[in-house]
Amino acid sequence: MPKTFAPGERYKKNYDERNIEQAVEAIKKGLSKKQAFKEYGIPRATLQFRLSNKFKKTGHGPPPILTQEEELLVHWIKEYRESISEEILNIEAMELFIDDIRIEYIDECTETNENASLENKSLNLSNICDNNIILDQTTKIVDINDQIPSYAEK
């Protein structure tokens, strides 16, 4: 039979989560449920439910989106972002890219002569900016102007 309360009166638990955890630990160590009920003032049904496999403690809100590793990475980035500027990071990334992959480009002088053999030169950061070149998937160097038709011609 359900418990009835006077109008305007509600059931209020007289225990907190810490007491429940202590009572559950005591039961696991050998204390009976009846003794835990008397000692901690927690209803026997509550203790039985907490000891069952049905109980699952959940937090408020949706589960976190980022994994622990991603959280660590975000923390590291936030910690060090003020000491390193974006410009320095871009230059360092470009230098690493150039060092790791052998990059060659087509010299503008040899492009004009159809019969001339193409000369290969090492590429540095200034050549990337000055000559408007891009890399395709096979690491061939392609002139951007040859790949993108001008809208003025249309």
pLDDT above 90 coverage of the chain, percent: 6
Termini Cα distance of the chain: 85
What pLDDT was estimated at residue 99? 64
Cα separations (Å) of 123 from 20, 23, 87, 119? 69, 72, 20, 12
Residues 22-58 have pLDDT tens digits of: 999 999 999 998 899 889 888 989 899 988 888 877 7
Q: Is the pTM of the predicted complex or chain greater than 0.85? A: no
Residues 78-101 have pLDDT tens digits of: 877 766 677 777 787 777 777 666
DSSP 64: P
> What does the domain layout of the chain look like in residue ranges?
17-51, 67-100, 101-147
65 close to 41: Cβ distance less than 8 angstroms: no
Give helix then strand counts, H and E, for the chain: 8, 4
